[in-house]
Amino acid sequence: MNIYYNLSDPEVEKFLVLWFAAGEHQFGRKRYEKVDYSLEGYKKYIKKCLAEKKPAFHSVQPKASITKLFWEFDIDEKKFDISEITDHNSKMLDELWEQAKKLSFKIIDKGAMPLIVYSGRKGFHVWCFVQGFGYRYTKDEVRTAKATYKNMLKEIADDYDEYKNLDRHPLHVNALARIPFSFHQKTGNQVVPLNFERKPFIPDITKYIENKISKDFITDMSTKAATELTAREWKSEIFKSEIKDWEIRPCIEKRFRESPNHNVNLAMLLECIYAGFDDIKIHELFKTHKDYNYEMTDYQIKYQREQVEEEGIKPFKVETLKRMGICNDKMCKECGKCKKSKAPWFNK
């Protein structure tokens, strides 16, 4: 049974105002929806998305700030028929609910008050506020701030193997999420907060803001991040010195020209970054696609550069390219580039 809360309910209005109070967020799937930063602006955007059947997405963090921690639990659509899920009480979501609650208790152990939100369709979001970390960080602080955010998420979750439905993609500071009390564009269900009895309610958001992650924990994670980044920079210099005469592999280039999809674009982007292409050159390359979008491409370039620099993400192995349908034995035999490459991770 679906329960709906009126956006004009005083408690919902209070929630929305304080939810966005820390700073200007980005809105929309591509992050450039124009929204007036006011209560009426938020409500208007939510209603507009409902009318146009679009997801009411907002950036998890305001610009250049970290104010909340965010985890997402989603059911695997490849294994289950999610059309059977009608609301937050569907039995198919029972296992995800238990995982979300388990994580919530770990958040409580860190001194914060967790908020579980039903996504409106196939999962749950878990949020908590962060103490003393909501300031606008400078350009020099960006890498440490982002690494600290990841460390906090991972440290609280502890053992990821316990959460087989935890989506790994949002575990970075640039993640998008549905706005609480907005509506899912496919089901029409409201994105509602749930108490530990799994019942919808309107939270007193001030209590969540007051009960934040402890400052000592943030300091520990920040120190750890700074140490890790220093070690990565040292390894990165050695790694870069070993790469000579980089060439984009023909199988990726061929698929990129003829039938690009998300995986092909990602493979090409990684190739370009390791080949030393600057942002302008990568944009020129992606402009050849009919669905090219500057903002989205620019975001992907910056995000993947961060993944390469901070996480050591490498180009896809040959076996991965084959699994994705980008390369095949015939292509490898014809060009030989993959097997002859000086980069060892290209091969099995």
pLDDT digits (tens, 9 = 90+) for 111-150: 999 999 999 999 999 999 997 777 778 878 888 888 899 8
The 10s digit of each residue's pLDDT in 219-252 is 899 999 888 877 666 544 433 434 445 678 888 8
Instruction: Provide the β-strand partners of residue 50.
Output: none
The pTM of this model reads: 0.71
pLDDT over 70 for what percent of the chain? 88
Cα 19 from Cα 41, distance rounded (Å)? 13
pLDDT given at position 215: 86
Kindly state the helix (H) or strand (E) to which residue 125 belongs, with its residue range.
strand 123-129
Cα 32 from Cα 26, distance rounded (Å)? 7
Domain boundaries, the chain: 10-223, 250-346
Which whole number is the average pLDDT over 175-194?
A: 96
CA dihedral 189, 190, 195, 198 (to 10 degrees): 0
Which whole number is the average pLDDT over 15-35?
A: 92
pLDDT given at position 1: 57
10-223 has which CATH code?
3.30.70.3300
More confident residue, 338 or 184: 184
| Mean residue pLDDT across the chain | 86
Cα 61 from Cα 32, distance rounded (Å)? 15
Q: Is the pLDDT of residue 158 over 50?
A: yes
Cα 50 from Cα 120, distance rounded (Å)? 12
